[in-house]
Structures are given as structure tokens and as C-alpha cells.
Amino acid sequence: MPLNKYNSPRIKESKGIQLLTTIWMVPFIALVIALWLAYQYYSKVGPLVNIEFKTNAGLVAKQSHVKLRNVIVGTVESVALSETGDGVTVQVRMNKNVSKYLNKSAKFWIVHPDVDSSGITGLDTLLSGSYIELKALKDEKTKKNFIGLEEAPPEDMKGKTFLLSAPKSYHLKKGSNVYYRMIKVGKVQHVGIAPDGTKINFVIFIHEKYIQYINKNSQFYTTSSVSVDISKGKLDLNVASLSQIAKGGISIYTPTQSFQQDAHLTLKKSHIFPLYKNLNQMKAKHLMRGIHDKAYKFVFNESISQLEIGSSIEFNGFQVGHVIDISSHFNTKSRTIESEVYAIIHTQGFSHNSSAKEGEKIIECLVNDGLKARLHSVIPVIGTKFIDLVFDNNKSAKLSMENGFNLFPTIKMQEQSNILHEIEEVVSKIKELKLEKLLASATRIFEHNEKPVNEILTNLKKTIKVVNTTLNTYTKTAKNINTITEQESLKQLPATLETTLNELTRTLEQVKTLSQDYNANSKFSAQLALTMKELTQTAESVGKVSKTLERKSNALILGDN
């Protein structure tokens, strides 16, 4: 039997073309799966946005993230230069669930490690790297192109801003804290130079619940890192916290009696508070400081070595301004150093209505009445100086214009008596007296004449005793003249008087003999006269110093004006 009868396959001849076969099911299923995966991917992927920054601060494509409330909501796709070349364009793929945050409220900025005088920021980026922070409100998606910020925006908290002004920045930066009674109540939002360049302006933000403690009587001063007080007889040392030392700060002082209802609401938005350098400067007496201060020019033909930029201008003990510039040059005619001092005077302080123009007119009237400027020393020993406005009617003067500045009339500084020098002269004169030699000479004299002197003193003692006895007798007998006449003592009176006179005569002769040994032409007499003369001069100097100290007890420190 043939083998192929049972094992040979049957082959059917195809009569057409067949497209749908089982072999095509494999790629078809693969295509469906790919489409499904693509759909799943694109259904979860959010929009692609473009963010413009001035510079790139450590962003890396495919690595850096975008965070919203510390949650990753996107990834940086690419970082490239912008079309104009003045910045960088960062493409970010955002998650789909944050699409509604991409609107006009969205703000982007780069967070990176930064260290400056205001503190340390971005420490969490040391390991993870720089990232983009997003801050936005949820709303409908309206934008996909954004302009990035250079720094974090201010906190969205309820509060109020206030304006401060100072001659210098006092090392304050944006972000420095503001304190009230050592409690943090706000932050410094802005530090910048005034448009006219004469001062530094500050903008501070105070949280809403602390606004009630600020009114027109409030004063602001920079908080010192270290303060020392020995006014109470003991050392009081205060050291600020590390955060305050690193960032600096501003403290607020408001008198408690000014806490009236809604007193803070009377402040105008344009009101500017002065910022004092420290607590001691704030405690000094000041007139009002405003934004309409005026610059004046002063010319001094004397030494101003102790006058510095920033030195105060005072009127009746109140600070009314400060020096802003000093220029000195040699005057060939007078052969002296002539100094031009430019200073700002707070003219509003001279006006009852806080009007700068009215204050300028009042100052002009005061100058017409004899107001002039002179240099004055705070403490003679230290020698620091300031400009004091005083009245002087010896010579009339008026304000005049010179190079665009009002020239303020000046007078020379009063010479203060140097009491220390006077005391030094007294001590020198005492040293020159040579009291030791004088005492030695007197000792030798009395040693050589000890016996005659003792006899003289003994005779004088006896004489005085007899005279006293006689006088006592006369006193008693004066009461009753009749009794006197009957007493025996009256009969013996002539003899007693004669004896007394004889003893007195002998005593005088001994004194005469002693004086002849030391007469006016003797060496002892000359030395004694010279010593008495020097003692007289010394007494006069001591008396002068004593009168000065009696009249002004602190003249040794403050001088005698």
C-alpha cells in the first residue's frame, strides 16, 4: 500500500487575495496597546509653559522641579537663551492637576542658596539643587507664558506699610525684622535712596494686629546688637539674639499715654517717621523731622577738626538738623583755613502748623533778630563739636544766597576756660614753694633760740595771768563803788599795776632782742617774705578754682562757660 495514501496533506488552491488573517492580529493588538498608553500618558501630562528669567540660577533640564506649597507640580524640560538674548527661557512641563493655577495670579521665582547680611535662604537646595517656586490662586487657566520674579514676593498677609527716613541705611536690609517691646511685629520691605539723594527711605510692613500700637507719637530706632549701661552704678550688658545680629532690626517706641482709641487711624499715608541710629540718639531732644528739610551753608574761619559729617545742629538744646558735607580750603588773604559746612535743618520743627515754608520764614526772622551759628564742644576733654544756633546782637546779619544755598551767618566759638590748666598751675606753684627747706630753716631757728623763746612765752603767760586777775578785780568792784573804796585791793592797785608794767617791759625787751637777730635785713626774713609771697599767689589760684567749682560743680568735665 503506498505511504502517501494516508499521510499526504491536502492543499486547497486559493482563488483570491485575503487581507484579514490571524497573523495580522499581533501588530494590531500592539498598535491598540500603544495608543492606549499614549492616551494614558497625555491624559495625565499637563500643559507646557514658558517662563522668562533674567538669569539662570542653577536650573538643570530634566532634573529641576517646580514646587507649589512644597509639592512637586512640574519638571523643567529645557533652559535656553531668550530670543532677544537679554535673559533665559525655561520650558516647564506642568502636571495636569495644577492647570487651573496657570492664570494672572501665578508668580514664579527661582529658589537657590543665598547668603547675605539679611540672613541665609534656600538651605534646602544644597542637596536637591535649585528649583522654581510657584505661588498662585486657583482659577481658570488663562496663560502659558510668564515673566519670572528675581526674588520671592512679599507675604500675602493683612497689615499696613509705614515710611521711615534716615541719613544712612544703618546696615538694614530688606527682610530685617521690626520689633515692638522685643516682639516681632513686621519686616522691612524696601530700602532705597531718596530721589534727591539726601537720605535713605525705608518701607516697613506691620501686621494688622500690631498697627494699633503705632501713631504720630511713635519713634523708630535701629536695634543695637550689644548695649552697655553703667548709669546706675552697675554694669548692665545686653546682647541681641543671633537672628537679630545677622539680620539687624528696627525697634518701635510709643508712649503709653498716646494709646487713644483709633489714634493710629489719624496717620496719613504720606507721613514719614525719622529713623534714629540707636536708642541714645532717640532719647535726645529733637524737633520735628519731615520730608521738606532744607539745606543751609555755613562758613567758619576756625578749626573744625572735631566737626564731622553727621554732627548735629542744636537750638536751645534741641537737635534741629545735621551736617551733610564739609569742604575746606586755604584762604590766601587771611592765611587761614576756611571751611564751608553744608547742613540740613528740619524747618518743619519751627512751624506750629508743621509747614516747611512757614518754618523757613520763621528761621529767616530769627536770623534778622540776631540768630547765628557757632561751633560748640560737647565735652572739652573729648573735643567733639556740633553747630549751636545762638542769638548774638553785636552785629546784625541776614540770610544771603550763595551758589544756590542760603548762607547762614556765623560767629567764632567762645573760648572756654581750661580749669584743668589752672589746677595744674596751682600744683606747680605749690611744688615751687620749697616748703621742706622753709620748715627746716624754721626748725633750726627755734632749736637755737629754744631757751629765749620759752622764757618769752613764760613771761607773756605770767603777764596775761596778772592782767586777767586785775581785770577781774575791776569787774567785780564796778558793781558797787562804795565797796570798792573800802577794799584793801584798791589801796594796793598802784603797786600791782607797777609790777605788771615792769614785767611787760622786760618781755618786750626780750622780743626786741630776738627780732634784732632776725630783722628785715636778715636771710631768714628774706626767705620768709619770699615764701609768704608764693603762698599768697597759691592761695589766690586755689581761691579761683574753688569759686569756679562752687559756682559750677561739674566744671572739671563740662568746662566753665
DSSP secondary structure code for residue 446 in this structure: H
* Residue range 7-26: mean pLDDT, rounded: 63
Residue 546's pLDDT is 60
pLDDT band at 11 (very low <50, low <70, confident <90, very high): low
pLDDT at position 485 over 50 = no
pLDDT at position 435 over 60 = no
Residue 490's pLDDT is 45
Residue 98 backbone class (left: φ over 0; alpha: ψ -120 to 50; beta: rest) = alpha
The pLDDT tens digits for 45-91 are 788 999 999 988 889 999 999 999 889 999 999 999 988 888 999 99
Residue 86's pLDDT is 86
Is the CB of residue 546 less than 8 Å from the CB of residue 560?
Answer: no
What is the torsional sign of CA 436, 441, 444, 449? negative
CA–CA separation, 271 and 81 (whole Å): 45
pLDDT band at 310 (very low <50, low <70, confident <90, very high): confident
CA–CA separation, 197 and 487 (whole Å): 110
The pLDDT tens digits for 538-554 are 656 656 656 665 665 55
In which element (H, E) is residue 453 found? Answer: helix 450-477
The pLDDT tens digits for 139-190 are 887 888 999 988 777 666 788 999 998 888 888 888 888 999 888 999 998 9
In which element (H, E) is residue 482 found? Answer: helix 481-486
pLDDT at position 461 over 50 = yes
Strongest mean pLDDT among 453-457, 490-494, 524-528: 453-457
The residues near 320 (Cβ < 8 Å, ≥ 6 apart) are 286, 287, 313, 314, 345, 346, 349, 350, 389
Residue 274's pLDDT is 87
pLDDT band at 524 (very low <50, low <70, confident <90, very high): low
pTM for the model stands at 0.51
